[in-house]
């Protein structure tokens, strides 16, 4: 008898080629064993998450980037990891593959194609974090209390979801999972990222400084300004020196890593 919890995967999409190469090619999704809900033209990530949480009747919503590849058997592993987490902390808020705690210690690992390697620190069980990378987020169906629909765009909502959980006295966790994030190099921390950064600084000003996976949230965003300049310089003068790029098949990467 299959007692695995029901999952639905939701992804905002603006590049169908990337979707087909990565998330939609994930074996558990391409076989239609797990439903994939694709959202085009979304205005914000939190809007996508809220709609999915409202529509799901039970189980879990897995929010994933279009450039994430989930190896064969991923959802069986995820079900086991969530069962462990439920025993540890039945009131958990959000889970993901990689995050950081308040001391900026990274927990969990993800293959990152832009860096050509697995990033993060290996964990053997659920690790409490203060922020999560948005490439993969797991929430309970119907748990709309975590979602602030005013968070703009598609940046830093992983921090916001975790912190909304903290307001309710709930913790969030990185889980030991194996995924391929077929990410492109970061070329800018302006635009939508800067707008989200400003929103978050204002919203959470009483709790600053606050850790993130890229630039910390501070009252005066010195590190953001410095990292914006660094991103421009790296894009212009320091091209990647590894053999992986967007043309690399993420399924090949998963096999090389022995994820499947």
Residue 44: its pLDDT value, please? 98
Signed CA dihedral, 76, 82, 83, 88: sign only: positive
0.85 cut: is pTM over it?
yes
The 10s digit of each residue's pLDDT in 53-104 is: 999 989 999 999 999 999 999 999 999 999 999 999 999 999 999 999 999 9
Listed as ranges, residues in the chain with pLDDT below 70 are 1-4, 187, 229-240
Q: DSSP readout, 36-67?
A: EEEEES-SBHHHHHHHHHHH--SSEEEEE-TT
Residue 231: its pLDDT value, please? 58
Fold of 7-256: Spore Coat Polysaccharide Biosynthesis Protein SpsA; Chain A (3.90.550)
Residue 184: its pLDDT value, please? 86
Residue 20: its pLDDT value, please? 97
Task: Identify any residues that bridge with 109 across adjacent strands, giving them in sequence order.
Answer: 120
Residue 188: its pLDDT value, please? 73
- Which of 65-101 are b and which e, b meaning 16 or more Cβ less than 10 Å from the residue's Cβ? bbbbbbbeebbeebbebbeebeeeeeebbbbbbbbbe
Are 190 and 231 within 8 A, CB to CB? no
């Amino acid at each position: 008898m299959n007692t695995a919890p029901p999952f639905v995967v939701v992804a905002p999409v603006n590049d169908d080629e990337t979707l087909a190469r990565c998330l939609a090619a994930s074996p558990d999704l391409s076989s239609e064993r797990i439903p994939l809900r694709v959202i085009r033209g979304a205005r914000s990530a939190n809007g996508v998450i809220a709609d999915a949480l409202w529509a799901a009747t039970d189980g879990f919503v897995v929010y994933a980037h279009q450039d994430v590849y989930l190896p064969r058997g991923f959802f069986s592993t995820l079900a086991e990891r969530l069962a462990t987490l439920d025993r540890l902390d039945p009131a958990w808020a959000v889970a993901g593959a990689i995050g950081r705690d308040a001391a900026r210690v990274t927990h969990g690992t993800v293959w990152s194609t832009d860096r050509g390697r697995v990033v993060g620190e290996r964990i053997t069980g659920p690790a409490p974090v203060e922020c999560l990378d948005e490439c993969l987020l797991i929430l309970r169906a119907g748990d709309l209390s975590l979602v602030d629909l005013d968070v703009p765009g598609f940046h830093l909502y992983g921090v916001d979801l975790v912190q909304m959980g903290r307001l309710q006295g709930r913790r969030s966790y990185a889980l030991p999972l194996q995924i391929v994030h077929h990410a492109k190099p970061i070329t800018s921390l302006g635009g939508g990222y800067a707008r989200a950064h400003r929103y978050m600084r204002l919203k959470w000003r009483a709790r600053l400084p606050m850790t993130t996976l890229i630039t910390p949230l501070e009252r005066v965003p010195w590190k953001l300004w410095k990292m914006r300049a660094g991103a421009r310089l790296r894009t212009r003068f320091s091209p990647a020196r590894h053999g992986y790029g967007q043309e690399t098949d993420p399924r090949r990467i998963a096999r090389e890593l022995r994820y499947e």
